[in-house]
Structure 1
Amino acid sequence: MPHRGRWLAGACISTVLAGLLATGGALATPPHEPAGRDDGPDVAVGAYLHYGSPGVERMEGLSHWLGGAELRAGHTYLPGDTWRNIEGEPNSLDSWARWRRAEADRLFVLNVPMFEGNEAGVPDRRVAELIRSGAQGRYDHHFQRLARRLVGLGIPDTVIVLGWEMNGFNYTHRCRPDPENWKKYWRRIVAAMRSVEGQDFRFDFAPNRGGDAIAWTRCYPGDDVVDIIGMDSYDQPPGHTFDEQVTQPYGLQQQVDFARAHGKRISYPEWGLFRNGDNPEYVRNMLAWIYEHEPLYHSITDYCPHGVWQCGKNPRSSQVFREFLSPDHG
């Protein structure tokens, strides 16, 4: 989906437990459920704010804007430019670790690239070579170092969104050039990280919504090395309406069904506005879907054009989002 120009984008936002149940494929206006109700689904509300320490600082501002709504999922990315950064070099991890340790029920969600030069426009032939090398264990040590770094920071229960949007066309860690060896490589990374003493990581398999470059089911590496079935889902084709986003091949409904069949929780590491501009109906329906299907966590992407807090181009969507998350609403 949108490129990691989000590295430099500073913004944030979170997402919500507000909801409504779908009836007959159509989504009505969700009821006004106060955030954090004891009888609501156990969903961690999160946001992509910024990849570094500013992301941590903005959590408080976002919570205040939402009327004090609790934000339990902190979400960021490791830069995919060098192996040192993939090993956990960025100092901002210290800030995220302090945020996570401050409350026992918080989740720290970390997107981890599978190769350096992850946005370098590497051709398929070279990607296939890299995947084969990974499947043979060439890069295991980088992920062991990352695991030791996270355990050493006191965040051994980090949710690892490994090789996200692997069914797409762009990232070097894409699956299509060699799906079978890609799955072997994923398995090696998980084994390497789980070999580190003290770890309690959960691994989130998070494709783009839809078929994209390859059916994401062809990239699924196995139940023993996946803990969560995620999906990045923006308001864009394929799927011109929300109902189409639900029912399209490899769409939201197939994600839910696939996760249920494999005994996994779901997640939405990235969602937000995109091709259709300020679309409050999409936001309302996405929040209703979240409320109904109870993902482990979800995280809205909040820089323009996707967001609703620091992007002033989406005022109607912003109002819907804020209403649903405000603890005092209703």
Structure 2
Amino acid sequence: MTDGTPRVGIYLGTAAIPAVDAFASWLGRGQLDATDYTDPADAESDQADANGAAWTPVMSDRWGGWAAAAPDADNRRFILGLPLTPKPDGSLAEVAAGLHDGLFDATAAALVAHGLTDTVVRLGYEPNNPGIGPWHGTTDPAVYRAAFRRAVFVLRSVTGGRFTVELDQAVGPAGAATSFDVLYPGDDVVDIVGLNIYDVWWGTTASPAERWTYIHDRPMGIADFLAFAGHLGKPLAFPEWGLYRPGDPYHGGGDNPDFITRMADLFTSSNAVFQSYFAADWGGGTLDDFPTGKAAYRAAFGAAGG
């Protein structure tokens, strides 16, 4: 947005273009960005390279058509979650050594070919989460940083690309990732820093206010992230966030409109450049499971922000 208002995005599933369009209509917005992911594929994929590395399809042709269909070219932007290791048991050391440059090159070329030249690339997302995939950096931050730098070099070498590279981490330390700085690969390869936030407090039942205070004040929480971004002087974003149902070890807050309101205030007060709600069910539910929260979301991000 040109007025300083954070852009609004949504993830509703792989290539979920009709769902994104329906969501934009329900929300009454002119501007709505879309998030999608490409994930590592196994070595038997017909897209595998000589090193047995492949991506699942990103369907950039479909997202390119979606972006081009907007009357105002700035109303739709594509946000791509791109792992750093291109197979389920991939090696960051291989990526850092350039063995899989061709896959990053092909991904960037496909985005350019389909008009998605200004894609936000969430490269190696959530590296401080050891469960995210083999590209996490909680055991060897140095090799994560090296792989990140190599991949950015390749992405930026593709003619026609104007990609914005984002490094987003999860809330909380893990292993050797004891602060946001540990995994940061350098100002020259990161355009935006991001934080993924869900309304959870692992193993603890708490009130909405208590849970927010915990998320805000814990190590590698919101306060630490804002200080980190401020020290770097980098724009910041919240590329994944959402409510989470109660009843499992995550101890989500369920239908909690207070979380929605606090996040909306955070987006504005922090001058975030964009935010994207994760509305596909990874175990915690979707907005449709939280009617009061869904109403608060529409009130915060609906027609007035379009």
TM range (shorter): 0.7 to 0.9
Normalising to structure 1: TM-score of the pair?
A: 0.77
| CA distance in structure 1 between the partners assigned to 2:298 and 2:280 by the alignment | 16
When residues 245 and 91 of structure 1 are mapped into structure 2, their CA distance, relative to the original with a 3 A threshold, is closer
What is the one-letter code of the residue matched to 1:314? F
5+ unaligned residues in a row in structure 2: which ranges?
205-209, 245-251
Contact (CA 8 Å) 2:149, 2:185: kept in 1 or not? yes
Q: Residue 138 of structure 1 aligns to a residue in which SS?
A: coil
| CA distance in structure 2 between the partners assigned to 1:328 and 1:262 by the alignment | 32
In the TM superposition, structure 1's runs of 4+ consecutive aligned residues that sit over 6 Å from their partners are 85-89
Match of 1:320 among 265, 274, 296: 296
Deviations, residues 195-254 of structure 1 (Å, cap 9, x unaligned): 111111111101101213422321110000000001111111269521221222111122
Deviations, residues 71-127 of structure 1 (Å, cap 9, x unaligned): 331111112224848877637321211222333213210000112344xxx5xxxx6
Match of 1:307 among 286, 293, 305: 286
Q: Corresponding residue for 1:15? A: none
| CA distance in structure 2 between the partners assigned to 1:91 and 1:157 by the alignment | 16
Q: Residue 224 of structure 1 aligns to a residue in which SS?
A: coil
When residues 328 and 112 of structure 1 are mapped into structure 2, their CA distance, relative to the original with a 3 A threshold, is closer
Contact (CA 8 Å) 1:246, 1:252: kept in 2 or not? yes
1:104 aligns with 2:65: no
5+ unaligned residues in a row in structure 1: which ranges?
1-35
Contact (CA 8 Å) 1:132, 1:181: kept in 2 or not? yes
* Superposition map of 1:66-81 within 5 A: 66=27, 68-81=28-41
1:49 aligns with 2:9: no
What is the one-letter code of the residue matched to 1:51? T
Contact (CA 8 Å) 2:194, 2:237: kept in 1 or not? yes
Normalising to structure 2: TM-score of the pair?
A: 0.83
Deviations, residues 10-51 of structure 1 (Å, cap 9, x unaligned): xxxxxxxxxxxxxxxxxxxxxxxxxx8x86x33111100111
What is the one-letter code of the residue matched to 2:73? A
Q: Corresponding residue for 2:185? A: 221
| CA distance in structure 2 between the partners assigned to 1:264 and 1:167 by the alignment | 19
When residues 192 and 82 of structure 1 are mapped into structure 2, their CA distance, relative to the original with a 3 A threshold, is farther
When residues 208 and 91 of structure 1 are mapped into structure 2, their CA distance, relative to the original with a 3 A threshold, is closer
| CA distance in structure 2 between the partners assigned to 1:48 and 1:294 by the alignment | 21
Q: Corresponding residue for 1:294? A: 271
Query: RMSD in angstroms over aligned alpha carbons?
Result: 2.4
Q: Residue 60 of structure 2 aligns to a residue in which SS?
A: helix
When residues 291 and 178 of structure 1 are mapped into structure 2, their CA distance, relative to the original with a 3 A threshold, is same
When residues 198 and 88 of structure 1 are mapped into structure 2, their CA distance, relative to the original with a 3 A threshold, is farther
Q: What is the aligned length?
A: 277
When residues 322 and 193 of structure 1 are mapped into structure 2, their CA distance, relative to the original with a 3 A threshold, is same
Deviations, residues 287-307 of structure 1 (Å, cap 9, x unaligned): 111121121111111134343
Contact (CA 8 Å) 1:87, 1:146: kept in 2 or not? no
When residues 156 and 327 of structure 1 are mapped into structure 2, their CA distance, relative to the original with a 3 A threshold, is closer
Q: Residue 206 of structure 1 aligns to a residue in which SS?
A: strand
| CA distance in structure 2 between the partners assigned to 1:112 and 1:143 by the alignment | 9
| CA distance in structure 2 between the partners assigned to 1:321 and 1:82 by the alignment | 38
Q: Corresponding residue for 1:3? A: none
Q: Which moved more, 1:186-195 or 1:79-88?
A: 79-88
* Superposition map of 1:253-264 within 5 A: 253-264=223-234
When residues 244 and 78 of structure 1 are mapped into structure 2, their CA distance, relative to the original with a 3 A threshold, is same
- Identity over aligned pairs, percent: 28
